[in-house]
Amino acid sequence: MIRKTFVGAALTLALASCAGHASQTTAGAPPVPAPTPAAAQPTTPATTAVAGQITGDGMFSVPDEAAPGTYRTVVPAEGRGHCYYARLSGPDRVEDILLNNNADPGERITVKIEPGDAYFESKGCGTWTLRAVG
């Protein structure tokens, strides 16, 4: 019993001293794996809706990413040359269209995202700014 405890304690001490050195082994013991780095935190996509704005191209969920309300934008001159936007009742970009439209560079657009909308899609429209809530 004393011998097993001594050997076990020696093995534990040897393994502890090897921590972080995956290539080292101790007296027939399996290699000590390298420490696993912490899980990467999700990053915020470049296309997001924050602080009363809907920025970039994408499909934004209502109300999580695009709050219901009246938004305004001016279609930028650079980029694709035109803007497409749509209010959607679900995730299908064709079947779930409630309202959609195209606009040309320089055109000022106002759209009201309703509380019952599921998504708002925007491509090439620039930054939408919230003008009125609800």
- pLDDT tens for each residue of 60-89: 999 999 999 999 999 998 866 799 999 999
- The C-alpha atoms of residue 58 and residue 47 are separated, in whole angstroms, by 6
What average pLDDT does the chain have? 76
Identify the helix (H) or strand (E) that includes residue 11: helix 2-18
From the list 88, 95, 81, 78, the residue with the least C-alpha distance to 58 is 88
Residues paired with 88 in a beta bridge? 97, 119
In the numeric block, the tokens 């040897």 are attached to 14
Cα–Cα distance, 39 to 112 (Å, whole number)? 40
Whether residue 29 has pLDDT greater than 70: no
pTM exceeds 0.75, yes or no: no
